[in-house]
Structure 1
Amino acid sequence: MPTSDEDYVYDDASGEWLPASAAKAAAAPSDTVEVRDAVGNLLADGDQVTLIKDLDVKGAGQTLRRGTLIKSIRLTGDPQEIDCKYDGIKGLVLRAEFVKKR
């Protein structure tokens, strides 16, 4: 008989009795999305990135040139899109495949 006061629950997937805390942690879905740049680096909120390709910005009539530095990005929850600010362009969303972490 276990000496701790922790409850145990039966895990159907593994066929074992697990502590309730471990079962709850395993059942909780992961709400973090991994966003990776063009070369595979993991991106996070607040990172600086540079463009690896010239991009025409729809609605702004402007082209962002290769090598342009974008500061303080924000992750959107989509693994392929990042939200960022750039002078003169409101609501700029870039695809992660066109940026490289600085």
Structure 2
Amino acid sequence: MPNNEWGWDDESSSDMIVKDCNWTILANWDTVAAIKDLKVKWWADIKRWDKFKNIRLTDNAEEIESWKMVLRTEFFKKV
């Protein structure tokens, strides 16, 4: 049940803490790098140290979004 007149709860996703593989806190518009090679279906593979700029946080604390891909935070570290 919504807690306010706009229809969302007071606990927003901005209160959520998102951390990378080294437990460093991530924020919107940060840059992260891959810590290992990752296979991606229907896309070019992600190589170690590939950088992703201007990430966005999602509703899930274990995922970040970059361009059109959703990435798992356990495979990335803040640059």
Bin the TM-score by the shorter chain. Answer: 0.7 to 0.9
2:41 paired residue number: 58
Matches within 5 A, 1:1-102: 30-31=11-12, 32-60=15-43, 62-85=44-67, 91-102=68-79
Structure 2 length normalisation: TM-score?
0.80
- 2:39 counterpart SS class: strand
Where in structure 1 do 4 or more consecutive aligned residues deviate above 6 Å?
Answer: none
Structure 1 length normalisation: TM-score?
0.63
- Structure showing greater radius of gyration is 1
Count matched residues: 69
More relative contact order, 1 or 2 (CA 8 Å, 6+ apart): 2
Aligned-CA RMSD value? 1.3
Greater strand share, structure number: 1
| Overall identity of the aligned pairs, in % | 39
